[in-house]
Structure 1
Amino acid sequence: MTEIGLPSGVRACLFDLDGVLTPTALIHAAAWKEMFDEFLRQRGGGDSGEFRPFDATADYDAYVDGRPRADGVRSFLASRDIELPEGEEDDPPDRETVHGLGNRKNILVVRKIRDEGVKPYPGSVRYVEAVRAAGMRTAVVSSSANCKDVLVSAGIEHLMDVRVDGVTAVEKGLRGKPKPDTFLEAARQLGVEAGQAVVFEDALVGMDAGREGKFGYVVGVDRVGQAEELRKHGADTVVTDLGELLGRTA
């Protein structure tokens, strides 16, 4: 049996979607940038009068990556000392509210996924197939409400026993990352304790969730050169691709 780089005693693997299984983190970052840059230009640069665009790497990693959509909007706006009314979850995308901006971003990301399509990381597919062959149960845990569509587009829906996503979080009142609620819900649905499950994440808030949830092992996936930060936030090991774990012992 292929070694899968995990400690003994684990029974389930909980995979983040964007940046771990699929490169859709890049699509999300581009959609956030397009939405926020348009918003910031319309505001005339804010109090300083100077337009500072959204940084699709630094701002994305610090304020929105891995967070529920509305939390991402709030977090980035706070970094620019901008306050907006919350609005309602069904606010139209042209309304200047937290939910309005979030819905504007969602329209952009759905359009990009539809136009560009999604292909999974080959190393991730090989790894998920290996852990399933080793008898592990698998779940995808994502803050995205578009998780199912991405899984279907990428052709990997059949590799997940459980899906806990942005829709699930709303339905069950689960707090988003950095809180561990969604990962804990996935473990519950798989019938395992947190200590018997492994979290695979590329976002710093995902590392925080893995640590706070007291999961058995946390794997950081470094796609953008933040390995040290992933370790500081709780990663037990860091790889640049899940395929690196194949043939490895923990």
Structure 2
Amino acid sequence: MKGVIFDFNGTMFLDSHLHEQAWFHMIRKYAAATITDEEIFTNIHGRTNSEILRHFINKDLTQKDIRKLSDEKEGLYRELCLKNEKDLVLTKGLVETLDHLKSQCMPRTIATATVKENVAFYFDVFKLDRWFDFETVTFDNGTFPGKPAPDIFLIAAKKLGLQPNECLVIEDAFSGLTAAKKAGIGTIIAIDPFGKNREAFEQNELGSGGIIQDFTAFQELLLVK
């Protein structure tokens, strides 16, 4: 392992419930048909906003429509983050992990399906510039397909100047783990903070490098060796 690529949402920041809340609101507001909670849940994580909007609202949305709806959704999401201050913290053990990686001069970056405005929000709220260079972060800029396509991790590895098989990826979403596997990432670790997905990850041979609950376990798995 020569570099580490972190997913962000649901991995570094346990905000899946806030994204879900914002998407449920948007889809129920704009979708013509009734859609089940289960369908919404299974078709949002790891995907780009344009993919989600076209899937649930209208496959013929213009880029202007997508931008407007995406801005509305992300604005609502950030409002929810600020209203839930107790949840606005990094995952347990992550600060110590990032400090250790920095002390070891380990190349590291973030690969996230979210938009640039949210990445800027996270850098501000969590002071991520302590550990990451904003310019190396890969986010949804509309130029590549979302997870489970491998593109995001191929781009992230290239930004680190590494081959995919030289990198470790840490991910929480089924689609993200699938993307890492397709990208040929050398070590893939799944994080399952609430113990809901271990069986599905194991059955689909995802997270072959280990399945952890938080970053205290991540350190035990890798950093004390």
Q: Give the TM-score normalised by the residue count of structure 2.
A: 0.84
Give the 3-state SS of the residue equivalent to 2:221 in structure 1. coil
Higher mean Cα deviation, 209-218 or 66-75?
66-75
Residues 177 and 206 in structure 1, CA contact (< 8 A), matched pair in contact too: yes
Match of 1:104 among 62, 67, 72: 72
- Please give the per-residue CA displacement for 1:78-124, whole angstroms capped at 9, x wherever unaligned: xxxxx624322332xxxxxx665444322311322344453211312
Match of 2:211 among 228, 238, 245: 238
- 1: CA distance between counterparts of 2:170 and 2:201? 11
Q: How many pairs were matched up?
A: 214
Identity within the alignment, %: 19
Runs (4 or more) in structure 1 with deviation over 6 Å come to: none
Residues 24 and 40 in structure 2, CA contact (< 8 A), matched pair in contact too: no
1:126 matched to 2:99? The reply is no
Q: Which residue number corresponds to residue 166 of structure 1?
A: 140
1:177 matched to 2:147? The reply is yes
Residue 34 to residue 193, structure 1, CA distance change in 2 (3 Å): same
Give the counterpart letter for 2:193 in structure 1: R
Residues 69 and 102 in structure 1, CA contact (< 8 A), matched pair in contact too: yes
- 2: CA distance between counterparts of 1:229 and 1:151? 32
Q: Which residue number corresponds to residue 13 of structure 2?
A: 22
1:233 Cα shift? 5.2
- Please give the per-residue CA displacement for 1:6-48, whole angstroms capped at 9, x wherever unaligned: xxxx1100001101111222211111122223335xx4xx3xx
Q: Which residue number corresponds to residue 151 of structure 1?
A: 123
- The runs of 5 or more residues in structure 2 that have no matched partner are none
- 2: CA distance between counterparts of 1:53 and 1:209? 26
Q: Which residue number corresponds to residue 87 of structure 1?
A: 61
Give the 3-state SS of the residue equivalent to 1:64 in structure 2. coil
Residues 137 and 190 in structure 1, CA contact (< 8 A), matched pair in contact too: yes
Give the 3-state SS of the residue equivalent to 2:37 in structure 1. coil
1:156 Cα shift? 2.2
- 2: CA distance between counterparts of 1:212 and 1:200? 14
Residues 207 and 233 in structure 1, CA contact (< 8 A), matched pair in contact too: no
